[in-house]
């Protein structure tokens, strides 16, 4: 796609005028971001030895190199190149509407086994072109989640599918420090130990005497990727192994989660194209003449609404049919067979995506973008009948997770967007929590996002979550939140029994006192523990707290524990209040019955709902859509979140004041010769003025949040019947 085509991107009208294009070069879709490639770090417990992995990676790479040329030549383009912002495409020289290529409805849940006859093993028996018979992508797939060595004879793929628990793989990727952070002389506070798939976050804390110390937080995940890992390597670690599974009726999802500016889009954007290459390669070789076709669709969830990124941002509706299957009505799917066409479609969708500016990222994705690669198979080899879905691979670039504090400098629209984003991420967390608790009702209807993600978590599915983290000290709290979230998701993975779950949670706040000087000596720590946790199949968080070699240890430990307790209690209280299961898991009428009926049957006051919708529309420019609304509960939840934030700030001010008071007391008690006392006094004065400035700053922020809170109160009270 040329620049003009990309330039045809639509922008959201936003009051602050901060929306703009995301300037990703087309090469980035293929590129590795300039990072040097590193050897594979995917170390399965009990699986391949490191040397085997390296050898295997090399073999896979050489196979891919050997195949790519042939594939590109043989790929017969079924959907020709796109023109700028055109909803019709050329096919064999004729103008063809995409509707001819697509049923127009994407059935997100049409993966029931009855849809396709059992796949015969024929396709897998034949060695794909350029692939070794002993090690091909099928082996890779079976090995991906099985934690077993590569051996095509010992794993029956169908066996893997019997479990009703989703198979989840959690990978963490750390981005490098950016120019801004380097200019501010921020520390890189994260160290990564690839051999044990562990990472450590060093959080700087203050003692009462204002000397700094480091608190260590250690985590273990399925894979941890440091700042030198290329996008190519990320693909190999995450998506590549699940590609073959989608030819076997599997729904696979890869999503990126993390703070705004942590590298989600950077990580996600190249993946679909790389996956398409592999899919087409399998279609043209292993599954040649078996009637498989590849379809691409791309949409975003913005402000709780769905927009088709490949069809002029056409608004879409998500509906549940009589069989409780969720469909996206009107979503345009393009049948593709050439990598160039796919690249153009992806670029077009990316350019159409809503972005804006946040405090942490100038080109922040303000929407959840969902790109789907669906494999369909013609029924009985009859091309005239609509093809049935065989499998699907979804890529979800979640909007940045952020707290209200990040949006203080932004306009109202950005804050509303932030609230919506947080709402959906909270709903996602709720679903994860419900799955974690084996609840019968999973509150998928809590948000559009979770409705779309529903099939990622249930049934025969594969899920890869890539948690993106920023390395700088200023993002420490966010980073810890992201890692805790990832840890939670990881605990859903197959093989983690309830017993293990509880033992893991009891270890969640395990603390050991480790003397921690301020200097970032990163080698210390107990990696043996981490390795042990990993071996037991657990991604477990171990938080260590530094102790003090001298001073008022008790007070300091209490202070630090208070902070942790606050963090933990905050998240659990969020979880308590944010329970959608009752509200949303009522019988929802079929979409065929019409919007009004669907609304009136929901156990939410329809009048209030509509008032909120119109309020949101009037004030914030969102389109009203009966299919999406804020409930009072949701607003209350947002309010609660803000209140928690204000409380946290208050406590912070209080803590700072306590430190100042303590210093004053020390000053009073000081019994030193005059000259030393003078030096001491001036040092304390300097500290005091520094702290005073900090307090002023905190108070300003507090005032801001109080104002924000008042606004929310007004909003809620205006909704009162
Ligand atoms: N691994 C990386 N190597 C080099 N640069 C990176 C890496 N990850 C991210 N970046 C850069 O950091 C900036 C922010 O990344 P990106 O836009 O992907 O963040 P994000 O998490 O998607 O943010 P948001 O949620 O706000 O959209 C971009 O300029 C991107 O190029």
- Residue 536 binned pLDDT confidence (cut-offs 50, 70, 90): very low
Structure confidence at residue 533 (pLDDT): 34
Q: Is the pLDDT of residue 482 over 80?
A: yes
Distance 311 CA to ligand 1 centre (A): 26
**Hunting for tokens 């979550």 — which residue is that?**
465
**So what's the pLDDT on residue 5?**
33
Of 127-131, 310-314, 424-428, the least confident: 127-131
Atom of ligand 1 nearest to the CA of 366: 27
Residue 190 Cα to ligand 1 middle (Å): 17
What value does the mean pLDDT take over residues 503-521?
31
Say what percent of the chain tops pLDDT 90: 19
User: Rounded to whole angstroms, how far apart are CA atoms 434 and 444?
Assistant: 10
Judged against a pLDDT cut of 70, whether residue 485 lies above it is answered with yes
Mean of pLDDT values over 45-66: 38
The reply, when asked if residue 262 is annotated as ligand binding, is: yes
Distance 115 CA to ligand 1 centre (A): 39
Average pLDDT over residues 542-546: 31
pLDDT given at position 466? 95
**Best probe residue, ligand 1, of 27, 34, 266 (max atoms within 8 Å of C-beta):** 266
Confidence bin at 436 (pLDDT 50/70/90): low
> In 491-594, where does DSSP find H-type helix?
498-507, 527-535, 553-577, 581-584
Q: Which atom of ligand 1 is nearest to the CA of 258?
A: 21
**Ligand 1: distance of its center to the CA of 468 in Å?**
9
Residue 251 confidence (pLDDT) above 70: yes
> Tell me, what's the pLDDT at 270?
94
Tell me which of 276-285, 448-457, 665-674 is least confident. Answer: 665-674
Residue 487's pLDDT band (cuts 50, 70, 90)? confident
Give the residue whose CA is nearest to atom 23 of ligand 1: 261
| Stretch 698-721: mean pLDDT | 81
pLDDT 10s digits, 604-663: 233 333 322 332 332 333 333 333 344 666 666 667 766 777 777 777 777 777 777 777
Ligand 1 pocket list (CB less than 6 A): 33, 35, 175-176, 178, 258, 260-266, 358, 361, 363-365, 399-400, 468
Q: How far is the CA of 264 from the centre of ligand 1 (A)?
A: 6
> Of ligand 1's atoms, which has the minimum distance to the CA of residue 358?
26
Indicate which atom in ligand 1 lies nearest the CA of residue 35: 3
How far, in Å, is the centroid of ligand 1 from the Cα of 407? 18
In the reported structure, the alpha carbon of residue 563 is separated from the centroid of ligand 1 by a whole-number distance in angstroms of 29
Residue whose CB lies within 8 A of the most ligand 1 atoms, among 261, 360, 398, for a mutation test = 261
**Is 264 annotated among the ligand-binding residues?**
yes
DSSP assignment of 362-405 equals TTEE-SEEEEEEEEEE-GGG-TTSPPEEEEEEEEEEPPPB--GG
Residue 107, beta-bridge partner list: 327
The closest residue, in CA terms, to atom 31 on ligand 1 is 266
Residue ranges per domain, the chain? 3-419+458-498+510-544, 577-718
CATH superfamily of 3-419+458-498+510-544: Kinesin motor domain (3.40.850.10)
Nearest Cα residue to 295 out of 374, 349, 370: 374
Flag whether pLDDT at 164 surpasses 80.
no
Could you report the per-residue pLDDT of 653-686, keeping only the tens digit for each?
Answer: 777 777 777 777 776 666 555 556 677 777 788 8
Highest mean pLDDT: which range of 116-120, 391-395, 660-664: 391-395
- Protein residue whose Cα sits closest to atom 25 of ligand 1: 400
Q: Over 60: is that where the pLDDT of 30 sits?
A: no
Q: What is the DSSP code string of 305-363?
A: EEEETTTTTEEEEEEE-TTS-EEEET---EEE--HHHHHHHHHHHHHHS-EE--SS-TT
What does R_g of the chain's alpha carbons equal in angstroms? 27
262: CA distance to ligand 1 center in Å? Answer: 5
pLDDT for 243 equals 92
Query: CA 614, 620, 622 angle in degrees (round to 5)?
Result: 65
- Whether 309 shows a pLDDT value over 50: the answer reads yes
- Evaluate whether 225 touches 674 at the Cβ level (below 8 Å): no
How much is the pLDDT for 412? 63
- Cβ–Cβ under 8 Å, residues 216 and 199: no
Centre of ligand 1 from the C-alpha of residue 469, in Å: 10
Q: In this model, does residue 547 exceed pLDDT 60?
A: no
195-232 pLDDT, tens digit each: 899 999 999 888 777 788 889 999 999 999 999 999 99
55 pLDDT higher than 60: no
Q: Measured from the CA of 401, which atom of ligand 1 is nearest? A: 25
What atom of ligand 1 comes closest to residue 362's alpha carbon?
A: 26
Q: Is the pLDDT of residue 63 over 80?
A: no
Residue 175 has pLDDT above 90, yes or no: yes
**What ligand 1 atom has the least distance to the C-alpha of 174?**
1
Mutational test site, ligand 1, from 180, 255, 260, 263, max ligand atoms within 8 Å of CB: 263
Average pLDDT of the chain, as a whole number: 61
Q: For residue 332, how far is its CA from the centre of ligand 1 (angstroms)?
A: 28
Query: Nearest CA to 546 among 518, 586, 587?
Result: 518
pLDDT at residue number 566: 32
Q: Is the pLDDT at 60 greater than 60, yes or no?
A: no
The highest-confidence range among 193-207, 388-402, 511-525, 654-668, by mean pLDDT, is 193-207
Residue 581 reports pLDDT greater than 70: no
- Over residues 22-32, the mean pLDDT reads 43
The pLDDT value recorded for residue 462 is 83
Dump pLDDT digits (tens) for 466-479: 999 999 999 999 99
Pocket residue to mutate for ligand 1, from 178, 237, 265, most atoms within 8 A of Cβ: 265
């Amino acid at each position: 796609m040329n620049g003009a085509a990309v330039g045809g991107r639509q922008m959201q009208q936003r009051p602050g005028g901060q929306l703009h294009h995301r300037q990703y070069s087309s090469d980035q879709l293929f590129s590795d971001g300039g990072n040097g490639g590193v050897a594979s770090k995917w170390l399965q417990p009990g699986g391949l030895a490191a040397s085997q992995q390296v050898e295997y990676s090399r073999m896979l790479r050489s196979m891919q190199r050997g195949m790519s040329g042939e594939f590109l030549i043989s790929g017969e383009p079924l959907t020709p190149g796109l023109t700028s912002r055109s909803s019709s495409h050329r096919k064999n020289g004729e103008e063809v509407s995409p509707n001819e290529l697509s049923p127009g409805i994407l059935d997100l849940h049409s993966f029931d086994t009855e849809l396709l006859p059992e796949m015969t093993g024929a396709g897998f028996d034949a060695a794909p072109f350029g692939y070794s018979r002993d090690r091909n992508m099928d082996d890779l797939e079976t090995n991906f989640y099985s934690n077993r060595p590569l051996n095509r004879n010992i794993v029956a793929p169908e066996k893997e599918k019997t479990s009703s628990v989703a198979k989840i793989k959690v990978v963490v990727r750390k981005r490098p420090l950016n120019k801004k952070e380097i200019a501010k002389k921020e520390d890189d506070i994260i160290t990564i130990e690839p051999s044990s798939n562990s990472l450590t976050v060093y959080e700087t804390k203050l003692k009462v005497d204002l000397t700094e110390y480091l608190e260590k937080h250690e985590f273990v995940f399925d894979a941890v990727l440091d700042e030198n890992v290329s996008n190519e390597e990320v693909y190999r670690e995450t998506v590549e192994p699940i590609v073959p599974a989608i030819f076997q009726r599997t729904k696979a999802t890869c999503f990126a989660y993390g703070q705004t500016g942590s590298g989600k889009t950077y990580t996600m954007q190249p993946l679909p194209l790389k996956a398409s290459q592999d899919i087409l390669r399998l279609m043209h070789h292993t599954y040649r003449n078996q009637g498989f076709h590849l379809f691409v669709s791309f949409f975003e969830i913005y402000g709780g609404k769905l927009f088709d990124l490949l069809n002029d941002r056409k608004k879409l509706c998500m509906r549940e049919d009589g069989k409780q299957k969720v469909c996206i009505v009107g979503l345009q799917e393009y049948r593709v067979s050439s990598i160039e066409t796919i690249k153009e479609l992806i670029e077009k969708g990316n350019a159409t995506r809503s972005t804006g500016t946040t405090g942490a990222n100038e080109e922040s994705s303000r929407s959840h973008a969902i790109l789907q690669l669906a494999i369909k198979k013609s029924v009985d080899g009859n091309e005239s009948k609509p093809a049935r879905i065989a499998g699907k691979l979804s890529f979800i670039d979640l909007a940045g997770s952020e707290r209200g504090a990040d949006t203080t400098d932004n306009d109202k629209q950005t804050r509303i967007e932030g609230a919506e984003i947080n709402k959906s991420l909270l709903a996602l967390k709720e679903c994860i929590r419900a799955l974690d608790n084996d609840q019968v009702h999973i509150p998928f209807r809590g948000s559009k996002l979770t409705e779309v993600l529903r099939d990622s978590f249930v049934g025969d599915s594969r899920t890869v979550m890539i948690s993106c983290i920023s390395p700088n000290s200023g993002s420490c709290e966010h980073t810890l939140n992201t890692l805790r979230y990832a840890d939670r998701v990881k605990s859903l993975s197959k093989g983690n029994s309830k017993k293990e779950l509880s033992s893991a949670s009891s270890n969640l706040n395990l603390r050991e006192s480790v003397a921690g000087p301020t200097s970032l000596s990163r080698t210390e720590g107990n990696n043996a523990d981490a390795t042990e946790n990993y071996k037991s199949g657990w991604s477990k968080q171990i938080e260590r707290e530094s102790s003090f070699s001298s001073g008022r240890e008790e007070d300091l430990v209490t202070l630090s524990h208070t902070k942790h307790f606050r963090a933990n209690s905050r998240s659990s209280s969020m979880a308590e209040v944010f329970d959608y299961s009752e509200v949303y898991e009522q019988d929802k009428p079929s979409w065929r019955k019409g919007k009004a009926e669907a609304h009136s049957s929901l156990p939410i006051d329809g009048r209030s709902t509509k008032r909120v919708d119109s309020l949101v529309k009037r004030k914030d420019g969102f389109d009203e859509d009966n299919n999406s609304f804020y409930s009072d509960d949701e607003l209350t939840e947002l309010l609660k979140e803000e209140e928690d934030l204000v409380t946290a700030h208050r406590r912070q001010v209080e803590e700072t004041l306590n430190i100042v008071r303590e210093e004053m007391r020390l000053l009073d008690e000081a019994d030193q010769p005059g000259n030393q006392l003078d030096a001491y006094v001036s040092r304390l004065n300097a500290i005091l003025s520094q702290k005073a400035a900090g307090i002023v700053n905190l108070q300003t922020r507090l005032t801001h949040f109080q104002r924000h809170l008042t606004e929310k109160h007004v909003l809620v009270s205006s909704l009162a019947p």
